[in-house]
Amino acid sequence: MKKRIDAIAREGETSRRLQTMPGVGPISALAVETFAPPMEQFKRGHDFAAWLGLVPRQASTGGKQKLGKTSKMGQRDIRRLLVTGAMAVIRWALRHGAPSNTWLARMLERKPPMVAAFALANKMARGIWAMLTRGEDYRGPEIGSAA
């Protein structure tokens, strides 16, 4: 079954493109390609991340913004796959050491791994939106780099 999934994921242009991002494998790529609506439906990457349920709740009043826990109100399957992929990247970074002064290294210094995984999954969702709307492969530094 795994070989068949890998073969299907290599055939499609979208799933092949998505797999260029660290933390996105064949199953995650096929899930995004299959279950996510067209990316043109979302105005920006934040909207796609919100649709997945990877954005913190906001309680704003008087111009003061308070961010709470992640809403988890969106598409459960893709969100779970992205968080799993993010945890794989984080486990690798903890074992081998994330490059110093990167976004991921700074996040892991001050947050528990699971919180960092949700933040990384949010970042991955925004990257997926950008990749699919622009029709590009993943480019740029490693997923944990500055930005």
Whole-number pLDDT of residue 98? 80
**Residue ranges of the chain whose pLDDT lies below 50:** 146
CA distances from 19 to 29, 46, 94, 101 (A): 6, 21, 22, 25
**Token pair of 124 as six digits:** 């991955």
Place of tokens 């970042």: 123
Whole-number pLDDT of residue 59? 59
- Look up the pTM and report it: 0.84
Whole-number pLDDT of residue 23? 93
Whole-number pLDDT of residue 45? 93
Whole-number pLDDT of residue 56? 74
Residue among 26, 55, 34 at smallest CA distance from 123: 55
